[in-house]
Structure 1
Amino acid sequence: MVKDGHEYCVQNGYNRSHVGRYVYAFATAVSWLLIYALLKVFGELPSHWNTILSTLTTGTLFLAVYFLFEKWMWKTTLFFKILKYPNISGKWSCDGVSSFQQEDDDMIKQDFKWKGDVIILQSWDKVRIRLETEYSVSNSISAAIVYDEIDEYKILYSYENRPKDLNHAELRIHRGFAELTLNRDNESATVKYYNVDGRKTIGTMFWKRLTS
Structure 2
Amino acid sequence: MLNHEYALLGGVNRAFIGRYIGAAASIISGVIVFLLLSLVDLASTFGMAVNLPPTALSLVGAGVVFSVLYMLFDKFVWRWSLATKWLKVADLSGEWTCNGKTLSESGEVRYEWSADVTICQTWDKIRVRLKTSQSGSNSIAAALLYDEAEGYRLLYNYRNDPRADQPELRSHVGCANVLFDKNLLVGSGEYFNGHGRPTFGRMEFTRKTLAAVEKV
Normalising TM by the smaller chain, what interval?
0.7 to 0.9
Aligned to 1:173: 171
Deviation per residue, 1:117-157 (Å, 9 max, x gap): 00010011110100000000011010001112112211100
Does the aligned pair in 2 maintain the 1:116–1:134 contact within 8 Å? Answer: yes
**Richer in strand (by share):** 1
| Residues 1:86 and 1:190: Cα distance change in structure 2 (over 3 Å) | same
Residue 59 of structure 2 is aligned to residue 56 of structure 1: yes
Q: 2:33 aligns with which of 26, 32, 35?
A: 35
| TM-score after normalising by structure 1 | 0.86
Does the 8 A contact of 1:137 with 1:163 survive in 2? Answer: yes
Post-superposition Cα deviations, 1:152-172, rounded to whole Å, max 9, x if no partner, equal: 211100111111036522x21
* Structure 2 Cα separation of the partners of residues 198 and 100 of structure 1: 17
Q: In structure 2, how many angstroms separate the alpha carbons of the residues matched to 1:12 and 1:41?
A: 47
1:13 deviates by 0.9
**Secondary structure at the counterpart of residue 59 of structure 2:** helix
Q: Give, in angstroms, the shift of residue 60 of structure 1.
A: 2.3
Structure 2 unaligned spans of 5+: 45-51, 211-216
Matches within 5 A, 1:120-131: 120-131=119-130
Structure 1 unaligned residues grouped into runs of 5+: 102-108
The separation in 2 between residues aligned to 1:50 and 1:15, in whole angstroms, is 39
The residue identity in structure 1 corresponding to 2:65 is L
The alignment status of 1:67 with 2:71, answered yes or no, reads yes
Alpha-carbon shift at residue 55 of structure 1 (Å)? 4.2
Kept after mapping to 1: 8 A contact 2:102/2:109: no
Q: Is the 8 A contact 2:134 2:166 kept in 1?
A: no
Calculate the TM-score normalised by the size of structure 2: 0.84
Deviation at 1:99, TM superposition (A): 2.1
Report the count of equivalent residues. 199
Q: CA deviation at 1:40?
A: 2.1
Identical-residue share of aligned pairs (%)? 37
Match of 1:94 in 2: 98
1:162-201 to structure 2, matched below 5 A, reads: 162-165=161-164, 168-169=167-168, 171-201=169-199
Query: What amino acid maps onto 2:117 in structure 1?
Result: V
Judging changes above 3 Å, is the alpha-carbon distance between structure 1 residues 28 and 88 closer, same or farther for their aligned structure 2 residues? same
Query: Residue 200 of structure 1: SS of its match in structure 2?
Result: coil
